[in-house]
Structure 1
Amino acid sequence: MLDIAYFNPPVQGDLDLKAYDPNYTFNADKTLLKKETEQLHHELSALQQCMLAEKKASLLLLFQGLDSAGKAHSIKHVFYGLNPQGLAVHDFQSTVLSRAHDFLYRFHQRVPALGHIAVFSRSYYDDIIHELEITTQPPDNLQLLKQSQHINNFEQLLSDNHTLVIKFYLHISKQEHRRRLIQRLGDPEKHWMLDQHDQVIQKNWNLSIQGCQHIIMHTHCLASPWYIVPANHPWFRDWLIISILHQALSQLAPQYPRPTLPFTEDDLP
């Protein structure tokens, strides 16, 4: 059994993403893992239904990664089969509104109510990581620490309100990033996915990874953990994410409420 804790970064000290191979599959059998993924889907659906009925806790899931890391694909495959009444997916784009308020303003309005699951693809980490990716100067540590502290306080507030925050960093290699960009260039139906920023990331790969390292290192804690997900192989990526979600919901142990019945069979005409 693979220890999921292996994919957590250290709680203290520096993070080196080079220590996490994006190609990791731990020699798992692809066919068997896909079957296990299907079983986990069924169990996850049952756990979600209990959580939705109980309304004692909620789950906020953040997906971060470079634009070709597979966030949208993973969200599509991980959450199919779940009850849409208790699930919301938000993809935050930069807007005039986002620049007119503090950087957490939009996100607080989309956190899940008790019993619900919310998924953020592009989150409050995005703008910070983006700035770290494109700069050619060392990061402004004071500014980074201030932003990280705001995030930590925000996530602690959510935790105090019984919202479990789990953050996934989809980790791909430079070679895989390039291969996926070339694949998109060759498919007219995927041209809309391309952005000039993709080329900037490829050219400044080390800076891009360093930016991700900095923000993960400053915002990882036991209450709202990061997971470094090897993402070169989608089948392993999705299995790992589903396994982490299954473990998290199992630990919450939601139960169907046992209310006093408002009437009995004999009361029905």
Structure 2
Amino acid sequence: MTQTPTHTEVRVVDRHLAPRVAGWLEGDPTRDGVLAHQHLLDALDSGEEERVLVWPADEPRAVAFLASTGTLIVSGDAAGGPPLAAHLHGSGWRVLLGDAALGRALLEAGSRGVLRRRGRAREQRLMGTREPVDLPPPVGLRRARPADEEAVTELAARLHVEDRMGPPLSRPARASVGDRLRDSIARGATWVVPRDGEIVAKVDVALASPLRGAQLAGVYVAEAWRGQGIAASAIAAVTRELMAEGMPGVTLHVRADNGPGRRAYARAGYADIAEWLLALR
């Protein structure tokens, strides 16, 4: 009789195990291993292996990375959900993102408190490209400047509601988003499209690894300016810039039911890589 795996089979990665885990992720036979596992691989590259869990300990089939921000990235076999959930109990993760089957299994094995919040879990699609598309950039596309911070924060607040992340941001939450975007702008990681003296679209670069590629996030076009190809052309242009800087590929994730968004990203050269789940606590 097959035994049910327990949390004792979960292991925290150390520097000796890290190369084997990285090799397993890179060699994923079902998809582009590097682009599908960017955040996990970048964590191992960056020396954050103590934040990475594997199951089972002797032959990894599922991996979880708990970032300092409270984001939990998961990948691998859904059978790893129960043991990982047991090990992560009380960890305080706030956002779960990654392979849909493993994410669902982890939630189902978690506490009743988590299950009561499952209405905030939704299907995503991880999309990516290694071949930039030569779409003309939208007029005025540029990196954001410090003076753009309030306008960019407003777009991020709208995206939070429209993307079903929760109710309108409270004042403290909006201030926290503003702090994050201030840092992103200072690093040159936020791009904007101005029209008629206003910022009407934004794109953030959430990850930029010369080894593992970049990931875009926070893509938003103001409602009055939609349907003009701004998203597709901006994504294509930022992707070209990132790949010219040496990124081997670029990814993003989008709600599975966001048809216009998925079509825009496809026009920018992106294709589906994996079914993901996004859950909030």
Q: What's the TM-score bracket when you normalise by the shorter of the two chains?
A: under 0.3
Q: Larger % of strand: which?
A: 2
Q: Larger % of helix: which?
A: 1
State the TM-score, normalizing by the size of structure 1.
Answer: 0.27
Higher alpha-carbon Rg? 1
